[in-house]
Structure 1
Amino acid sequence: MKSAEIPENEEERLKALDNYNILDTLPEEDYDALSKIASGICNTPIALISLIDEKRQWFKSHYGVDATETPRELAFCAHSILNPDELFIVKDATKDERFFDNPLTTEQPKVIFYAGAPLVTPDGNALGTLCVIDNEPSDLNDTQKESLKLLANQVVSLLELRKRNNELSKANVETEKLNIRLNNFAYRLTHDLKSPISGINFLLDVLKEDFQDLFKETEAEKHIDLIANRIVYMSTLIDDILEYTKVNTENIVYEDINAKELIDSIIKNIDFEQKIFLNSDVLDTNIHISKIGFLQVFQNLISNSRKYTNKDKVNIEIDFKDEPQHYHFVYKDNGPGIEEQYWDKVFNMFETIDNSNNDNTGIGLATVKAIITRLGGEINLQNREDGKSGVCFSFSFSKKEILA
């Protein structure tokens, strides 16, 4: 018996194999299907997807045998990877000086005929083979040879897909960790800013009260009022950022709530200068959801309807459907609406469409989307079917509890 030589690029090849994170993984249907197809096309009882590790060959798929690995020094596939561009065929191992006394030939599974197509990565590393085996002498015709090569390419494609998915998963984990750190930083920063903002506001009140006569009808009075307005904006901005960061930092608690009662309570607690009329088919319906998330979404939407209305009366319509997997809502108002060219922007952080409203921080709808996304739903803008002016938000909450 002659064991295969070690490839010149062995160190690089083993590193490439390790990068696929495939060794010792559980069986997978996609790989098993390819080995079964190879067996059928080549008319052999055995087909293997073999990967050559440092001291063993390990089978990602083993059709026709129970073994999951063998020592590398016995592996036919270890010979095959020495010529990555060619099929390695042994028509009769009993007459081949390299294999006639190989235990895999003299004992079970009695490898007499062997044909292996190397699994070559895009970087040119031969990781192993897709091979077919028979217990008696045989050969492959040209069609079978070509088919075996094509199937080997498909195995490599599966490996590449696995590698990309693993890299994407790692990137997602790192991104999630970074987002958590950024959210925690933003939370601490905005929380720490609230105290000095309150202090400045207090000093302005003192100035306005103690020096009222001195500042009266002067530019100083206008400047103080401007500073006061900016402080109100900064305070609102800090509160909005805190609300946004809470979306990703606080645990989700699910409970049974009455949707109509909560929406009614929001309207009662919001200071409307205009009259508000609510037309809703959200009857006394109990739903299982995050109460805090539900309140934040509707508080933001209803507050925006109040803030941006150009009418004497604010009309709000809320439609509700209890779907198999989701709670679905459609929210409409009679305000100026949002032009379709801005629909992709309104959910971005700090994106403001109406510059005439100095209190707009551009965080409210970003918070709404973040909450809905975290609760397993989606939100989008639509045109009102009745042709009336106003916004029309269609959104859903997943009924499945999101573990976070």
Structure 2
Amino acid sequence: MKIPETYHSEKERLANLHSYSILDTLPEEDFDAITTLAAQICGTSISLISLIDDKRQWFKSRVGLDVNETPRELAFCTHAIRTPEIPLVIPDARLDDRFENNPLVTGEPKVIFYAGIPLNTAEGFPLGTLCVIDHEPQELSEQQMQALQALSCQVVKLLELRKNKKQLETVNRELEQKNYDLQQFVRVAAHDLKAPLNNIEMITNLLKEVTEVANDEEGNKLVNMIGSASENLRTLVDGLLTYYQSDSIAKNIAIQINLTELVQSLKQLLSWDDSVQVQLQSSLRFVELNEVLIQQILLNLLTNAFKYNDKDIAKIDVSVELRSDNFYRFCVKDNGPGIMPNFQEKIFELFTIATNFDRFGNKGNGLGLATVQKLVNTSGGQIWVASKVGEGATFTFTLPRVSLN
């Protein structure tokens, strides 16, 4: 028996092997299906997916063999990985001086015939082999060898898919943790900011009542600037809270919602006078949705359609339909100034502002549409905008109908 020489780039090969996190894992049906098929095609009693580490060959999948590993120095596959471009075929191991005294030949499992196809990764390293073994001398036909080669390629693809899946799971876990940490930070920061904001607003209101300040035009102007800045900061804090709470909002339970009552209640939140007109156009009387979700989405869209409207009377049309794929399709159309083409993709990005000031002279914070998109996407829907400058804008979004059962 001859112990094979170590692979020429063994350190790198082992690092590549360990990057797959495959050693000592539980059996998997996809790998077992390949070894079963290999044994049937080649007519052998044993088929293995063998991986070679620094001390052993370990079997990710095995047919016809009870043990799950053997010492590396005894492994036929250790010889096979030394020539990764060429299959290793041993018709009768008893007649080959590399294996004639090998305990795996003279004893159990009595390896007489062996054919192994190296499992070569994209980096060019042989991790092990897909091999078939029998207790009697044998030869494989050209078709059998081609089939074995094809199956070995499938093993490598499975290893790559498994590796990519593990990497994605790791990245997702890290992103989820970062997102959770960010949400916690925003909540704490918002809470800590609100207390001093309340104090600033209270002091500002008190200053307005002080005679000296009230009669001083310059002083009154400064106090109003402080109040305006405080209000803007409060709006920003509240917007950030809403944005980062959108995931939990989307998980609320669905109910049957009266569309007319919903739109009317939202219209009243916008204005008590006739400066805004909201019309509902739908053959549906009810929708089955998460109430908090749809209120938040429509309130943001209606508020934008009103605040950034340049007409004396803001006209907003809301249409709703239920599509054949069981998704609701909402359209919110306004008669405002429209949106420049170069902003129509960007407006859903966090902190992006298309218009500097609204009809009341207040500056936006770029959170509303980002929140809307996050709410829609988290719920499995989509949102987009169509607009021509001077002809208003139409925001369309879809949401899946939620069974009340």
Q: TM-score range by the shorter chain?
A: 0.7 to 0.9
Shift of 1:205: 2.3
Q: How much does 1:168 deviate?
A: 2.2
Question: Residues 319-358 of structure 1 correspond to what in structure 2 (within 5 A)?
Answer: 319-321=320-322, 324=325, 326-357=327-358, 358=362
State yes or no: 1:96 paired with 2:96.
yes
- Give the residue type in structure 2 aligned to 1:365: L
Matched, 1:173 2:173: yes
- The CA deviation at 1:192 is 1.4
Q: Structure 1, residues 64-100: CA drift from partner, whole Å, max 9, x if none?
A: 6365724235532233223334322212123224444
Distance 2:6 2:401 in 1: 55
Q: Counterpart of 1:370?
A: 374
CA 1:400–1:25 in 2, change beyond 3 Å: closer, same or farther?
farther
Give 1:400 deviation, angstroms.
8.1
Structure 1 residue 377: Cα displacement: 2.5
AA in 2 matched with 1:394: F
Percent pairwise identity: 36
Residues 213, 174 of structure 1: alpha-carbon distance in 2 compared, 3 angstrom cutoff? closer
Residue of structure 1 equivalent to 2:398: 395
The one-letter code sitting in structure 2 at the alignment partner of 1:174 is E
Q: Corresponding residue for 1:241?
A: 240
Q: Secondary structure of the equivalent of 1:377?
A: coil
CA distance in 1, matches of 2:214, 2:397: 54
Task: Tell me which residue corresponds to 1:129.
Answer: 129
Q: 5+ unaligned residues in a row in structure 2: which ranges?
A: none
Residue 354 and residue 147 in structure 1: after superposition, are their counterparts in 2 closer, same or farther (change >3 A)? same
8 Å CA contact 1:240, 1:364 repeated in 2: yes
SS for the counterpart of 2:347 is coil
One-letter identity of the residue aligned with 1:359: K
Change (3 A) 1:68 1:240: farther
Comparing 315-324 and 34-43, the one that deviates more: 34-43
Give the Cα–Cα distance (whole angstroms) in 2 for the partners of residues 4 and 335 of structure 1: 79
Gaps of 5+ in 1: none
Distance apart, 1:366 and its partner CA:
0.8
Distance in 1, Cα, partners of 2:83 & 2:291: 64
Superposition deviation, residue 234 in structure 1: 1.5
* 3-state DSSP of counterpart to 1:391: strand
The 1-side partners of 2:272 and 2:340 are apart by 25
For the residue of structure 2 that corresponds to 1:354, the secondary structure is: coil
Distance 1:399 1:47 in 2: 50
* Residue in 2 that maps onto 1:160: 160
In the TM superposition, what is the alpha-carbon distance from 1:324 to its structure 2 partner? 4.8
Specify whether residues 327 and 53 from structure 1 end up closer, same or farther in structure 2 by C-alpha distance, changes over 3 A only.
farther
Residue identity opposite 1:191 in structure 2:
H
**Aligned: 1:361 with 2:365:** yes
**Contact 1:48–1:59 (Cα < 8 Å) also in 2:** yes
> Residue 45 of structure 2 contacts residue 134 of structure 2 at CA under 8 Å; is this kept in 1?
yes
TM-score by length of 2: 0.82
Q: Does 2:380 correspond to 1:381?
A: no
Contact 1:184–1:245 (8 Å) recurs in 2? no
Within 1, Cα distance between the matches of 2:92 and 2:6?
A: 24
**Whole-angstrom distance in 2 between the partners of 1:284 and 1:110:** 77
Per-residue displacement from partner, 1:274-315 (whole Å, max 9, x unpaired)?
A: 13132231633251x433222211111111121122331422
Matched, 1:257 2:259: no
AA in 2 matched with 1:232: E
